[in-house]
Amino acid sequence: MDAGRGMLVTGWVMLAAGLLSVVASLGALRLNYGTADVRGGSMAPTYRLGDDVLYARVDGDGDEVRRGDVVLFSAPDRYPGGGLVVQRVIGVGGDRIVCCEGEGSARRLTVNGRAFEEPYVKDGDANGPFPQRYDVRVPQGRLFLLGDHRLNSRDSRFFADDHGGTVPVEAVRGRVTEDRLGVVLLAGATLFGLLLAIAGLICALAGRTRRHRPAEFDTELWPAHF
């Protein structure tokens, strides 16, 4: 195989591998992660109006959602408009949620009979001005959800007549994450694939040019005729 043809073949292989890497890594990013902007104040001070959040997509498997997670879920019957709602998981299937012990800012929820420490709630108040006590046994396959700003959150407390205010695990679309390693690795794979594709294209063009370059006329191979 001549040098020009070798460069051409190598270039096409590099180009194809690079494009495949770009498509695969972008597909993995879209399949596993998403971003959303916070459109209300119910999760302050953790997430404020206008904040962008990164979330890992979940497929409705209860094992992927744990107590304390901040999740995005869909509940169009409760929140018209079709957008995703951001709230925190307080109870999972089988948990008993009782509100509240203590008074004022010292009030605490109990989960399965134990005080549930929530350092993220605004002003340290576990229930805001919500006047009612509640005692909810979370059905299997469902979640009890609250906002971190209990004074300004229309959450499970307001839908007690519907399975104790809980939502099905299948409604969850993603879990907010601060771990960006996976995103960085996939973005790096995308960049690497792009660079490889560019290098392959350059190599292929160079090989094509070399193959089609006219042969130089060598006068030493031809006898002189007088």
**Given pLDDT bands bounded at 50, 70 and 90, which one contains residue 224?**
very low
- Cα gap 103→195, rounded to integer Å: 61
* Strand-strand pairing, 134-137 and 70-73: unpaired
The residue whose two tokens read 């002189």 is 224
pLDDT of residue 226: 37
> Out of 21-30, 97-106, 121-130, which region has the weakest mean confidence (pLDDT)?
97-106
Task: Return the structure tokens found at 56.
Answer: 């890992």
**What do you get for the CA distance between the two ends of the chain, in Å?**
39
196 or 103: whose pLDDT is higher? 196
Q: Is the pLDDT of residue 156 over 90?
A: yes
195 or 208: whose pLDDT is higher? 195
Dihedral angle over CA of 41, 80, 175, 164, nearest 10: 90
pLDDT of residue 42: 93
Q: Say which residues have a Cβ less than 8 Å from residue 119's Cβ, sequence separation at least 6.
A: none
The residue whose two tokens read 């294209």 is 201
pLDDT of residue 220: 47
pLDDT tens profile 8-64: 888 889 989 999 999 999 999 898 999 999 988 999 999 999 999 999 998 766 678
> pTM of this prediction?
0.80
Provide DSSP, the chain. --HHHHHHHHHHHHHHHHHHHHHHHHHHHHHHEEEEE--SSTTTTTS-TT-EEEEEE--S-GGG--TT-EEEE--TTTSTTS--EEEEEEE-TT-EEEEEESSGGG-EEEETTEEE--TTSGGG-SSTT----EEEEPPTTEEEEE-S-GGG---GGGGTTTGGG-EEGGGEEEEE----HHHHHHHHHHHHHHHHHHHHHHHHHHHHHHHTSPPPP-GGGS----
